[in-house]
Structure 1
């Protein structure tokens, strides 16, 4: 048994934010039915593919919302040809290709809604209304339905603004929400965080909201609307900036790898890379000075305020010491007494025994290739109902017969209708 194995999710999302949200639910056991636009999710053809050396440089930017799904034929893709982007956020789902502008597919979708627990979509505000499939219509067919949306700026039902209807991507959310302003080197430009946190954090919050709504429904029998906006999520993520501005009136900006109120809490160059050291507690500071063989620093700067007042001088002293040692040697010296770690790249992550012991790398089948590929595992660990993220992403329309009892694809049905 898995925690959500009695939950069916109709997943109308594409690209990154929505698929990541529904993948979390799938990992926890939910039956996630991916309802795909004609031609499939926009990221099905995105690289990399097995053997590619070029990575994802030519792919589409990850994003929360889409105005696709309106019946236009996007770039079609051979069923076996999806790449790593699609594989990484759509594992364990079932696929059904539908044109929601068509009456037959709309009716099929509404029949699925009657038996579903959750619907998730990440269209622009107003798109589902164009299909005649907005929350109010679906609720009439299934009053217990949980309807969840992920948008750049939220849905008017939960707070109307003049930004709604505008497209949004991770970069936009990070810029508006203040993340970029506090990320980067002090003398450098605003910098986005590497992973698409505007998508991923919003998606995670949406999954939390869905689980809360399911719990409420279990107690009351009442469905509801769940809405998370990328802009809102980034404000939540930059909470430190909010309270700093409220308490002090200052506008926080970039500080590189340092922390405004903690020191040492920074990255330092080692002889063969970089390490991070978090020795802001008095006990940690004393242990760091001992490892450096610098009792004078421990004596002269014993309190947090002393270290903050002289952080530039002390940063140089620590940097001079770390530069003389390999990262592994530094961590060995500090292990058990000072929080410390090397700055790893992904090849280091692949070799880390901790990562394998925690099942954070999962091998899955890759259609069209003679080898398995590796994607990130589930960080959610449950003792009695552990997630099982080991199934590959679906081929386009792979599960039509299972879901609708009709072996014909959407395109074949349209051709048959035309011939008649």
Structure 2
């Protein structure tokens, strides 16, 4: 592939053969597509990616009827071309191998060893394309005692420690472990996989060597414990859940206002004093129990109920206005309607609209990657099942009409 002068992209010279489905793998390939890579998504004939049917909600067509594309599928598959190939057949395997010869990257998230029986594992494909970058995404990695287990985001959030840190304190109403509201381990695995693929491509461009990338959801979840993981390793003491409060800073949490909720993140003593003064409780700034952060942490159980009552005296908008003016870090807790109507979100073009063959257009969340020289292009909506099968077979593998018709009749494509 070559970039045209009008559409210069960072990865316009890269072709990705995407054998992944659901979320972690497609999130990686969508990132690469956003950056300009040509991504060919391989799916099962007649069925496709499981997430195509993970609804409602579904995309509406021009007559306001449901299409076959669930919103879940739409979230992770823009910018791709879609082919249907039955890789369990010898003919399907030959098509994949031929496509590998035309590709720079292979992504897959099959169970450990599953592609080996089809001759589509790294060892086999590396023989025919030595410089291929091959990335496998699984729940637990290619080795270790759990390698054969299926990995699901929810389970990994529990196993990897995130749910021990997320949720209200056990001694408060509603206390207990809680998963994140989105499949954050899948998403972060897709992000780490994107970085690994780009690193491997850089190495290939310098040395001519391809390589194998082994990505595991559990590894990613442990890695993204970040400071909490470091806290444990330095102390040997497992951190506990604190809900929306901070273990080391007070006040640094959510509060209910007269009409909603806000977050107040008073990171120093001066910000705390401004906060209580704006709430009409200046005496709290001078109270000996609360004058420093260590003292506020020590007397948290006394201070927080007082602050909670104070915050209820104003609306969400009133608090945001006065706190922002005074330089006290704060923010609203928005629902998604408020998110997508937020002027900052709109200014940053985090909602995009892309032409769609059956719906006319589809609205999607935009990419956060803002590149000055090679910006993200939104030209290809999440594809219909098999939308580009014949096109890719003709343009990449030079199959003629008779060959394509034969494969279709046999159910191979």
Under a length normalisation based on structure 1, what TM-score does the superposition of the two structures give?
Answer: 0.87
Provide the residue aligned with 1:413 in structure 2. 406
Provide the residue aligned with 1:222 in structure 2. 209
Taking the TM superposition and a 5 Å limit, the aligned residue runs for 1:55-94 are 81-94=68-81
* Equivalent residues of 1:274, 1:343 under 8 A apart: yes
Taking the TM superposition and a 5 Å limit, the aligned residue runs for 1:4-153 are 4-38=11-45, 39-47=47-55, 48-50=57-59, 81-153=68-140
1:318 CA displacement: 1.6
- The alignment partner of 2:51 has SS state of coil
Task: Find the aligned partners of 1:147 and 1:348 in 2 and give their Cα distance.
Answer: 41
Unaligned runs of 5+ in 1: 53-78
Match of 1:362 among 347, 352, 355: 352
Taking the TM superposition and a 5 Å limit, the aligned residue runs for 1:296-315 are 296-299=283-286, 300=288, 301-315=290-304
Task: Find the aligned partners of 2:404 and 2:163 in 1 and give their Cα distance.
Answer: 44
Q: Which piece of structure 1 moves more, 79-88 or 10-19?
A: 79-88
**Does 2:146 align with 1:163?**
yes
Match of 1:352 among 342, 347, 368: 342
Task: Find the aligned partners of 1:408 and 1:191 in 2 and give their Cα distance.
Answer: 54
Task: Find the aligned partners of 2:273 and 2:379 in 1 and give their Cα distance.
Answer: 46
**Does 2:331 align with 1:331?**
no
- The alignment partner of 1:82 has SS state of strand
Unaligned runs of 5+ in 2: 1-7
* Equivalent residues of 1:269, 1:323 under 8 A apart: yes
Task: Find the aligned partners of 1:385 and 1:264 in 2 and give their Cα distance.
Answer: 42
Provide the residue aligned with 1:235 in structure 2. 222
- The alignment partner of 1:250 has SS state of coil
1:280 CA displacement: 2.1
Task: Find the aligned partners of 1:147 and 1:415 in 2 and give their Cα distance.
Answer: 28
Q: Which piece of structure 1 moves more, 395-404 or 90-99?
A: 395-404
Task: Find the aligned partners of 2:28 and 2:370 in 1 and give their Cα distance.
Answer: 16
Task: Find the aligned partners of 1:350 and 1:416 in 2 and give their Cα distance.
Answer: 46
Task: Find the aligned partners of 2:402 and 2:220 in 1 and give their Cα distance.
Answer: 38
Per-residue deviation, residues 267-307 of structure 1 (Å, max 9, x unmatched): 00011110001002223223213322333322332322111
Under a length normalisation based on structure 2, what TM-score does the superposition of the two structures give?
Answer: 0.89
* Equivalent residues of 1:401, 1:407 under 8 A apart: no
1:335 CA displacement: 0.4
1:30 CA displacement: 0.5
Provide the residue aligned with 1:71 in structure 2. none
* Equivalent residues of 1:363, 1:390 under 8 A apart: no
Task: Find the aligned partners of 2:402 and 2:23 in 1 and give their Cα distance.
Answer: 25
Match of 1:286 among 255, 264, 273: 273
Give the superposed CA RMSD: 2.1
Provide the residue aligned with 1:3 in structure 2. 10
Task: Find the aligned partners of 2:343 and 2:278 in 1 and give their Cα distance.
Answer: 26
Per-residue deviation, residues 229-270 of structure 1 (Å, max 9, x unmatched): 111111112223322222222221211101111221100001
Q: Which piece of structure 1 moves more, 243-252 or 163-172?
A: 243-252
Provide the residue aligned with 1:68 in structure 2. none
Task: Find the aligned partners of 1:309 and 1:409 in 2 and give their Cα distance.
Answer: 78
Task: Find the aligned partners of 2:44 and 2:114 in 1 and give their Cα distance.
Answer: 13
Task: Find the aligned partners of 1:95 and 1:407 in 2 and give their Cα distance.
Answer: 19
